[in-house]
Structure 1
């Protein structure tokens, strides 16, 4: 049964519960039947309070990317499948004093790419440059666990943006659970601090254009037309990557013991108050700490690279850092709830009590990447976003698999979308486009349709559009 609420909001009654879908007509009509099968499996987890898809929704393992799923803390469930494998994966944007015209020269942009790569390892396994960072400190204390030399504003306590302009600078949890982590995991995680990783992770140099209706907010955030910003997408690397499979296995064993399950063997869950649930939640927080620090250190490396090109006076203050793969206790409807966001971004409006102090007045920046060759967006939440627990999209969302992309899209088509050979060419760090073909714009939904869906649903509005100029991709 379908109930159309208007404004890009549909409510679909499935066998096991109700699914809310936020998408315009074009996006909605192309979602495909599989996402509804996965939603119904998720809704079969007992006592679900709410579940929705944002317009970037697409098939994942156990749960679609683009899912928000909510349970009450007192009697609810936690699911690693509805968190995702890259725990704490998220976005970060840093400001620069540069303007588009300052870096329009291709030779200069190539120099910038090379300089950043010197400090930011962009291969899948990674090899950290920061050997004095202790993993046990950062997974326990977040950014506070870093040596002061890596926190650029450590010595300016009245303006410590590194700690105040991030969604979370530290997650507190029972660190006794760290005793269960094997030695090899500590070692590999140490090797990857400040590294980009592969897949859809990136560092991108962009120039922005301000939306007139939100110009006042943009100016308060320090944005201006033509400004060059740095957008970063990465996660918890090996730390979160090894937690996911291990605890999926533990959950599956517990579910067999309890005699529960769903039609999808990849969907695992446990009551929040069980030993399995508590162990996962506590160690998930350790991965969230790692993820925030990892993006912080990538940004630190970007600043060092830009200083090599533009001089030691170059400063790149953080605009915001936020996640899109996690389960977090939040207060909604005057009670504590566990909000799972798998590939969805929190977008709080002005005045919301969960905003960091720096963004109480305006609401915080919600950072939405597109794909290589397409725009990304900086948005701000609207009060009407409460209907979706203040969740919006996390990006464009894949429209086809990596294998299908390689079979259906040619390198020439990829090159055309990147404007190769023109003055507007989006430069990349990889020697050939073939090596990153599975990340081409044709692999993703039309990000403008995704953003139109979010805006039309009243979940958030656009503050600035960000157009790519240079991309550093991991392989």
Structure 2
């Protein structure tokens, strides 16, 4: 293996199976370790691959590293459940409020708000959600357009509407007949989970914004203000995505055996796009994307009610943006139809790109990048030079150690210190027993500021605002 170092923040790594493009400071690149290169080499053995890259938060995953972008042509391409990820449609959502950080200065008020959110959004992994009147089939088929009107409060006021327009995609279309392949128990479980958070690294976070002076004009066009309170939500397709993976995984494995496909990694799954297994996975994946965006929307609706309980009916939340970082979608690049996989990477389109939703055509859409619990998150905008990485940037800080290793190496006192527990600027958590969350402590992740710096210096995107955490709701 040899590396061609083009500059400090980008390198082409020549592997036996092909070229891997890495966008990261050289220190971050070397810290990734040999396993990520081994996994990349396996991924690039999938036939007809056009391109593969890592963002600076890349780390080992199942079959494929989190932080991967991989591209095939639509005419002879492959689709890979491993390069989509187990949580299909996992992504971010940010809402802007009409409150200022001084309104949440009192730590007791932040605790009250967290409790109000927890009343409406179950944090236990198998708890039932509060949206039993939403028809799961409508959500799977129509995405946000399948929700009852009362849960889309601005849908009929076009001048103020953001719920349906300020999203990466409000509805993914697919062959709805494929839904019949998913067994009935999965439908029941998934219906119960609409509007629920899930565990692991999923969260709802209350944040205060600081505008980047270099991009203040863009921030103003987005409606951002210094000190403004924002809500960031991170979740995905819950058990529906799991059911899609379970069913399609067996079908893809049969196809691989039939066609004699495979690599050194038995967990790396893929199938030709034009095979029955490939088509079925693609269609059902889109149903999971519809579930994911509706799930985040419903949680935001519940958070809106929690703000109103805490601050009164004048409290408002408007959608800034909703996007995904685990998916595969058809995109046009240089007038060619391509299937772009992103596993733990975020699309960041620049100003003027036709792929932007209309409200963001002139500026580029917000790219929503969470930090680790207790550290800053970022609102970014894509740069024109990002075309060289198919407009993909990082999706967060990226784990630096496993959950078990974190539990063994990080003490409760260290975790409490990082969350400012007992201080006036305490980052309020919904769990008082920190032991339950220690595997998600900031010490488990890379330095998000260095990740963002790599993205900016690699000329993939720019910072519009930094988001300081004030309170967080986590699942268990």
SS at match of 1:162: coil
SS at match of 1:206: strand
Q: Contact conserved, 1:24 with 1:453, CA < 8 A, in 2? A: yes
Deviations 1:389-436 (A, max 9, x none): 000000000000000000011001101111112111111001211100
SS at match of 2:208: strand
Deviations 1:296-321 (A, max 9, x none): 00000000111111112221000000
- Who is 1:235 aligned against? 236
Instruction: Write the distance in 1 (CA, Å) between the matches of 2:226 and 2:26.
Output: 32
Instruction: Write the distance in 2 (CA, Å) between the matches of 1:349 and 1:7.
Output: 23
Q: Is 2:320 the partner of 1:345?
A: no
Deviations 1:154-185 (A, max 9, x none): 22133321010000000011101011111111
Cα shift at 1:345: 0.2
Instruction: Write the distance in 2 (CA, Å) between the matches of 1:155 and 1:47.
Output: 46
SS at match of 1:467: strand
Deviations 1:262-306 (A, max 9, x none): 000000111101111000000000000000000000000000111
Q: Is 2:436 the partner of 1:435?
A: yes
Cα shift at 1:219: 0.5
Instruction: Write the distance in 1 (CA, Å) between the matches of 2:69 and 2:134.
Output: 34
- Who is 1:193 aligned against? 194
Deviations 1:88-125 (A, max 9, x none): 00000000111111101011000000111111111111
Cα shift at 1:126: 2.9
Instruction: Write the distance in 2 (CA, Å) between the matches of 1:283 and 1:335.
Output: 24
Instruction: Write the distance in 2 (CA, Å) between the matches of 1:100 and 1:157.
Output: 29
- Who is 1:140 aligned against? 141
Cα shift at 1:28: 1.2
Instruction: Write the distance in 1 (CA, Å) between the matches of 2:155 and 2:359.
Output: 17
Instruction: Write the distance in 1 (CA, Å) between the matches of 2:148 and 2:366.
Output: 27
- Who is 2:117 aligned against? 116
Deviations 1:355-386 (A, max 9, x none): 00000000000000001110000000000000
- Who is 1:333 aligned against? 334
**What pairs up with 1:150-161 in 2 under 5 angstroms?**
150-161=151-162
- Who is 1:64 aligned against? 65
Instruction: Write the distance in 2 (CA, Å) between the matches of 1:297 and 1:354.
Output: 25
Instruction: Write the distance in 2 (CA, Å) between the matches of 1:94 and 1:7.
Output: 35
SS at match of 1:462: strand
- Who is 2:379 aligned against? 378
- Who is 1:293 aligned against? 294
- Who is 1:82 aligned against? 83
Instruction: Write the distance in 2 (CA, Å) between the matches of 1:294 and 1:260.
Output: 35
- Who is 2:132 aligned against? 131
- Who is 1:453 aligned against? 454
Instruction: Write the distance in 1 (CA, Å) between the matches of 2:100 and 2:347.
Output: 29
SS at match of 1:163: coil
Cα shift at 1:147: 0.4
- Who is 1:53 aligned against? 54
Q: Contact conserved, 1:7 with 1:458, CA < 8 A, in 2? A: no
- Who is 1:444 aligned against? 445
Instruction: Write the distance in 2 (CA, Å) between the matches of 1:459 and 1:147.
Output: 38
- Who is 2:368 aligned against? 367
Cα shift at 1:471: 0.3
Aligned residues: 475
Deviations 1:242-276 (A, max 9, x none): 21132122211211111110000000111101111
Structure 1 runs (4+) greater than 4 angstroms displaced: none
* TM-score where L is the length of structure 2: 0.99
Q: Contact conserved, 2:203 with 2:234, CA < 8 A, in 1? A: yes
Q: Contact conserved, 1:126 with 1:196, CA < 8 A, in 2? A: no
Q: Contact conserved, 2:155 with 2:164, CA < 8 A, in 1? A: no
- Who is 2:21 aligned against? 20
Which segment is superposed worse, 125-134 or 192-201?
125-134
Cα shift at 1:83: 0.2
Q: Contact conserved, 2:325 with 2:395, CA < 8 A, in 1? A: yes
Q: Contact conserved, 1:11 with 1:20, CA < 8 A, in 2? A: yes
Deviations 1:324-358 (A, max 9, x none): 00000000121000000000000000000100000
Instruction: Write the distance in 1 (CA, Å) between the matches of 2:22 and 2:62.
Output: 19
Q: Contact conserved, 1:329 with 1:336, CA < 8 A, in 2? A: yes
- Who is 2:399 aligned against? 398
Structure 1 segments unaligned to the other structure (5+ residues):
none
Cα shift at 1:437: 0.4
Cα shift at 1:7: 5.1
Instruction: Write the distance in 2 (CA, Å) between the matches of 1:241 and 1:428.
Output: 28
- Who is 2:259 aligned against? 258
Instruction: Write the distance in 1 (CA, Å) between the matches of 2:202 and 2:94.
Output: 14
Cα shift at 1:2: 1.3
